A = this chain, B = another copy of it.
Amino acid sequence: MTVRMAPEERREAIVAASLAVARRKGLGATTVRDVAAEMGSSSGLIHHYFDSMDEVLAAAFDQAASHDLAQVENAMDSESSAVGKLRAFFANYSISDNEWAFQLWLDAWAEASRRPALRATSERLNVAWQQLLAITIKEGGFDCEDPDATSWRIISLLDGLSLQVVAHQTTLARETVSSWIRSYAESEIGLAPGSLIPA
């Protein structure tokens, strides 16, 4: 038998184990038994904490995406100027080191139509990313007509380009995507070309 845990602790352990499996096999291919094996526990335990697999996956995705979001927010907070914050945003919202994180997004978007909990989570976090950028633009007082729209377009271009890198690998290079995104953001936000290149 596994060690007896406090409810909250166990819940977190389940989410962590689910994430570890999803990282290897993908969100959609993660099963109850996989998660149990990863934890070294029985499979029945998972359903003692979650009503359905949909909710387990949603919680796992939430954890991963929220963590990445918090990391970028942190990097932005340590910058004082608005331009500095934006630079930090584009330097850190990068798929270079954790390519599997973006695969999680791909899985979430595809599964959204069939897993209600996952859809709600993915939508909430997508909006959170957009808001992070939009609010920064608003506070910077840039020459940007509609920060919300601008932010959606930048995030979407980033998603569309990243998607090619992760799903097809050969069509586009990571550095190409980074530089295109920076140029596009500069023109949309009303910054001089090169403003967003990291120091």
Please list the residues of chain A having a beta carbon within 8 angstroms of any beta carbon in chain B: 26, 28-29, 103, 106-114, 119, 122-123, 126-127, 149, 152-153, 155-161, 163-164, 166-168, 170-172, 176, 180, 184
A156 cross-chain contacts in B, Cβ below 8 A: 157, 160-161, 163-164
Query: Given the complex of chains A and B, what is the CA–CA distance between A166 and B123 in angstroms?
Result: 11
- Majority-rule SS of A interface residues: helix
Contact with A110, one of B28, B123, B171 (Cβ below 8 angstroms): B28
Query: Given the complex of chains A and B, what is the CA–CA distance between A166 and B109 in angstroms?
Result: 9
Q: Are A171 and B28 in contact (CB under 8 A)?
A: no
Given contact pairs A149-B180, A160-B157, A180-B153, A167 touches B122 in the complex (Cβ within 8 A): yes
Query: Given the complex of chains A and B, what is the CA–CA distance between A10 and B127 in angstroms?
Result: 46
Given contact pairs A163-B109, A170-B123, A171-B123, A114 touches B153 in the complex (Cβ within 8 A): no
A113 cross-chain contacts in B, Cβ below 8 A: 26, 103, 166-167
Nearest B residue to A168 by beta-carbon distance?
A: B123
A180 cross-chain contacts in B, Cβ below 8 A: 149, 153
A153 cross-chain contacts in B, Cβ below 8 A: 157, 161, 180, 184
